Amino acid sequence: MNEQRVLITAGAGGIGRAIAQAFADKGAKVFVCDIDVQGLEALKREVRGVQATLCNIAIRSDIEKMVGQAVKALGGLDVLVNNAGIAGPTAPVEQFNPDDWEKVVQVNLNGTFNVTRLAIPHLKKSPAGVIINMSSVAGRFGYPNRSVYSTTKWGLIGFTKTLAMELGGDGIRVNAILPGAVDGPRFQQVLEGRAKVSGRTLEEEAQAAMATQSIKHLVDPRHIADLAVFLASESGSSISGQMLPIDCDMQHT
């Protein structure tokens, strides 16, 4: 693990930061990109050895520059974690702004595609290349009033399965992690969006969210990070093309 070279998109906060911390704790060389300048500065101060740069995953030229920077800084690439994604608004399809739809697709699907296609030639040079795509429980179920988010997260499943088939011969393993309700500010924003549409209170929406799970707590981002580290390790060397939920046994959205 101490020789792994890891690139994480959107790694300045939330799940991405937890993943960066976990890989760094194992001795990996970590490079992070994000649009959050303050978050990147805090990450560099607080997590020893992590390198970082500003990058908007919605802009192809930013991605092209960033991947080149990352590979140069790391001296190659062994692990790519495609964590960047945005949620988009909460609204039924007939009221959904097409511009908002395109913004989410641009980041969640097009951005992931562009980072990955540029990373693959470098991963092929690795003795054990790994790609981890961050999907969601919304990639397992329908997600009322969150159509574009669900659509893109389902799209990442197809992307993951296809990449695993294309790249297996090069020794590159590709898997997707599907978090459920994750503890942090983003889930609170989800609850606020649901409450706005449903007319229920935040507390009622939180109770409804827990009712869909057999384990009644939010997912700890550190546990998602631990799963990512495992998938990238030698212990995960026979796992590819898989969709791994970490969602407290959620039954529906």
Of the residues 149, 154, 159, 187, which is catalytic? 149
Decide if 49 contacts 29 (C-beta within 8 A): yes
Q: Say if CB 2 and CB 30 are below 8 A apart.
A: no
Q: Residue 202's CB: how many other CB atoms inside 10 A?
A: 12
Instruction: Specify the pairing of strand 243-246 against strand 173-179.
Output: parallel
149 among known catalytic residues: yes
- Distance in Å from the first CA to the final CA of the chain: 36
Q: How many CB atoms lie within 10 A of CB 100?
A: 14
Burial per residue of 130-146, b for 16 or more beta-carbon CB atoms within 10 angstroms, e otherwise: bbbbbbbbbbbbebebb
d(CA 185, CA 218): 12
The percent of the chain in helix, strand and coil, each rounded to the nearest 5, is 50, 15, 30
126 CB burial (10 A radius; 0-12, 13-18, 19+): middle
- Phi first, then psi, for residue 187 (nearest 5°) are -65, -35
Identify the helix (H) or strand (E) that includes residue 240. none
Whether 178 contacts 245, CB under 8 Å: yes
Catalytic center residues? 149
